[in-house]
Amino acid sequence: MPQYYLLSGPHRCPTLPPASPATKPISTNWRAGAGAGPCCRPRASTSRPTITSPWPTTRPWPKPPTTLWRAACRLGPVARACCAATTRNTKPWRPKPPAFFGAERVLYFNSGYTANLAVLSTLPRRGDLIVYDTLIHASAHAGIKAGRAHALAVPHNDANAIATTLERWRQAGGRGVPWIVVESLYSMDGDPAPLADLALIAQRHDAFLVIDEAHATGVLGPQGRGLAAALEGQDNVIVVHTCGKALGTTGALVGAPAVLCDTLVAQARPFLYATAPSPLQAALVRAALALVAQDDGRRARLADMVAQANQQLGAKTGRPGSGSHILPVIVGDNARAVALANRLQARGFDVRAIRPPTVPLGTARLRLSLTLHADEAAVAALTTALAEELACP
């Protein structure tokens, strides 16, 4: 059975038009990263996820854009994953993610949302119990609601509450399989999950541990493999790596034991009834992983900037930092959060207000997400501006 289901049919690639003055600047700008989009503007802070990959602004692509254009003509998606054969264009890519992440098998989904939806609506069965952190992604909530297993929420990052919930369920006669669902780094709070404790709890209770690495992949862990790198590959661990954040591409990779991946291929509706991702997308993910694996220098530079931002945020505003590249500034009131964001945007900082239902009631906030498009001077300017605006009534 193929490890990846990135399917396509052959298409005739039309002859490229001759180069013209109108098209040359597009190609040149694209290679040099001189775009005008929002991800090409240096910002001290942004609501976009942290980007450590080279696209689109920091390095030239390895081949000219015409090559990718020809590939796109031949490798467009044309079918559901289960309705066509894996093409030769995907074969060189297939072994890379399992070897990189350490999982026995990896499946490629169109997005992180569909990956979480597929995993949590398909693998837990009737009679099982899902114990999940209250702050997991909306896509994980959607997957849990779409499934048939009973689910219980526990307070944020409370490993003891998870263990107690599982014990009480067993004592009450629970006979199914327990599932623990967490994020490795939480998207709105920027704090890490106690993965070592959760792994021990999962082993003690014969539970599966599902870890969403959306905000850690590419940025944290050895070679950017995420905070769950030491756990991935274990027979009770499932890890979701979103490709649309630090990797700068699209889709999501689900690393899991082979038998669970086979189950997803055979039964997961978000996999069965969706058009398969293009092999061109797969090639971009492969290239991003190769660059991430060898780019410890950029991760170190980002880590230095993160440390600076956390220190200055505490010193200038009296608010503790999260310790990660995601720094929430809790305001509480929705209107005040929006007003603060607007004033900071007027001063040139791309800061957004996050309000319920994205975050719990009464916790409206500014969400700062550091990227390598900023620098130390921009971080210093942002924290100063933030302190000044917070001091205003």
What's the pLDDT band for 67 if we cut at 50, 70, 90?
low
Q: What is this structure's pTM? A: 0.79
The answer on 151 and 266 residing in a single domain is yes
Tens digits of per-residue pLDDT, 114-126? 999 999 999 999 9
* pLDDT value of residue 109: 93
- Report the chain's mean pLDDT, rounded to a whole number: 81
Q: Are residues 157 and 272 in the same domain?
A: yes
Q: 22-31, 254-263, 350-359: which range is least confident on average? A: 22-31
pLDDT score of 60 more than 80 = no
User: From residue 113, how far is each of 121, 241, 251, 270 by CA, in Å?
Assistant: 12, 11, 9, 10
Same domain, residue pair 100 and 239: yes
Q: How far is CA 73 from CA 28, 276, 283, 285, 309, in A?
A: 21, 16, 14, 18, 44
The pLDDT of residue 284 is 87
Q: Is residue 304 part of a domain?
A: yes
Residue 155 sits in a domain whose CATH number is: 3.40.640.10
378 contacts 41 by C-beta, under 8 angstroms: no
Single residue among 293, 310, 339 that ends a domain in this structure: 293
Domain that holds residue 245: 76-293
Q: What is the pLDDT of residues 376-390, one digit of tens each?
A: 999 999 999 999 999
Q: Which two tokens stand for residue 361?
A: 């009631």
Residue 139 is assigned to a structural domain of this protein: yes
pLDDT tens column, 288-332: 998 899 889 999 999 999 999 999 999 999 888 899 999 999 999
Same-domain pairing of 83 and 148? yes
What's the rounded Cα separation, in Å, for the pair 335 and 242?
32
Q: Long-range CB contacts (< 8 A, 24+ apart) of 155-162? A: 156/186, 156/189, 157/133, 157/186, 157/191, 157/193, 157/194, 159/194, 159/197, 159/198, 159/201, 162/131, 162/198, 162/201
> Distance (Å, rounded) from C-alpha 202 to C-alpha 237?
9
pLDDT for the residue 231: 97
What is the per-residue pLDDT for 69?
61
**Span 233-253, pLDDT tens digits:** 999 999 999 999 999 999 999
Q: Which of 244, 274, 293 is the last residue of a domain?
A: 293
Q: Are residues 112 and 261 in the same domain?
A: yes
Domain boundary among 235, 268, 293: 293
Considering the domain architecture, whether residues 107 and 236 belong to the same structural domain is answered as yes
Q: Is residue 165 part of a domain?
A: yes
Residues 306 and 215 in one domain: no
Q: Do both 378 and 244 map to the same domain?
A: no
Q: Is the pLDDT of residue 226 over 70?
A: yes
In a domain, 36, yes or no: no
| Structure-derived torsion over alpha carbons of residues 150, 153, 157, 160, reported in degrees to the nearest 10 | -70
Q: 230 pLDDT exceeds 80?
A: yes
The per-residue DSSP string of 304-343 comes to HHHHHHHHHHHHHHS----SSSEEEEEEE-HHHHHHHHHH
Query: Tell me: the pLDDT tens digits for 74-133?
Result: 665 555 555 554 544 444 345 467 788 999 999 999 999 999 999 999 999 999 999 999
The CATH number given to whatever domain includes residue 369 is: 3.90.1150.10
The type of residue at 347 is R
In the chain, the number of structural domains is 2
